[in-house]
Structure 1
């Protein structure tokens, strides 16, 4: 596993040890960033179930201005910090805790996101709950993108509240859906 492109392209990343965390493969990371735009000029990225941190670190490498990576596993947090140490980048914040609780704390600080990656454990599909929480807490900038990674048995809707699916793709056992957020006026 590595950072594929951008200013940190080629840097090898550690994986979370054990079988409790399912890494997003390099193939899926490349698909995510080819569907959302390969490079960015700033913006704030959120990964709610960060695992090794690979997706958020890829976003930083490709030009996102800031990334917040959340995971509740101590082992995952340690791995993220090991990977972050290879980059020496101060624009990444690593938070240990329950993603839903942390979202409330971020909302209290008036944090807003331009891109959110949601890849919860497949057995606990919480994508629609996360979308609701992002809206209810006013955590998204207009035109924010939300990337949902699910197993291939989950069929996410084309439209949900203020979200419209703009791209979707199946990769064997995994589905990716990219939602665009539009603030209701």
Structure 2
């Protein structure tokens, strides 16, 4: 696995062995960012189930200003930290070592891009998007990228968020919501 494009493009990323995390493939990661960007002119990104941190690092590589990564698994946290250090710009990243719901209760900034790839997708995504909205954590015009198994059907709208695009890549489905 590597950073696909941007400032850190081509740099290798570490991943956690085993089934604890499911890293987004380079192909899917490239497709996601081509749909939503592919490059950004600043902004805040939240990677709520960071895994290896590759999606948030890709967003910073492509022009986002700051990233908050949330990961509860201790072994995955070490991988995220190593990948952040690879960027040589650690001040642009904040790793919150806790479960997603607890992090949402502590966050106060509004995010322009939210990345959601939770272990139990359908139930978690709907609840999480509503929590983000109710907590004032979504900036005007924010985009929410959800990565799930291709069998997961997400609703056309969740709160003020509307489904904008949806594509299947092998066994993965990417659903993108934007804020009305």
TM-score interval, smaller chain: over 0.9
Counterpart position of 1:127: 125
TM-score by length of structure 2 reads 0.96
Once residues 120 and 104 of structure 2 are traced to their aligned partners in structure 1, the CA distance between those partners, rounded to angstroms, is 20
Give runs of aligned pairs for residues 13-28 of structure 1, distance below 5 A: 13-28=13-28
2:112 and 2:122 map into 1 onto residues whose CA distance is: 25
Secondary structure, counterpart of 1:6 in structure 2:
coil
| Residues matched between the structures, number | 179
Identify the range of structure 1 (46-55 vs 116-125) with the bigger mean alpha-carbon deviation. 116-125
1:91 aligns to what? 92
Q: How much does 1:17 deviate?
A: 2.2
Q: Secondary structure at the match of 1:100?
A: helix
**What is the aligned partner in structure 1 of residue 144 from structure 2?**
146
Moved over 3 A (4+): 122-125
Deviation at 1:88, TM superposition (A): 1.0
SS at match of 2:5: coil
Partner of 1:10, secondary structure, is: coil
Shift of 1:18: 2.0
Alpha-carbon RMSD across the aligned residues, in angstroms, is: 1.1
CA distance in 2, matches of 1:51, 1:59: 15
Number of the residue aligned with 2:101: 100
Moved more, 163-172 or 47-56: 163-172
1:10-42 Cα offsets, whole Å, 9 max, x none, are 100000122211111101100110110110011
* d(CA) in 1 for partners of 2:162, 2:68: 24
Moved more, 116-125 or 67-76: 116-125
Counterpart residue number, 1:157: 155
Q: Deviations over 1:89-143 (max 9, x none)?
A: 120111110111111100xxx3110000000014774110111101111100111
5+ residue gaps, structure 1, are: none
Partner of 2:129, secondary structure, is helix
Equivalent in the alignment of 1:35: 35
Aligned-partner Cα distance in 2 for 1:123–1:21: 13
Q: 2:167 aligns with which of 164, 169, 181?
A: 169
TM-score when normalising by structure 1: 0.93
SS at match of 1:126: helix
Pair 1:118-2:119 in alignment: no
TM-superposed CA distance for 1:180, in Å, is 0.2
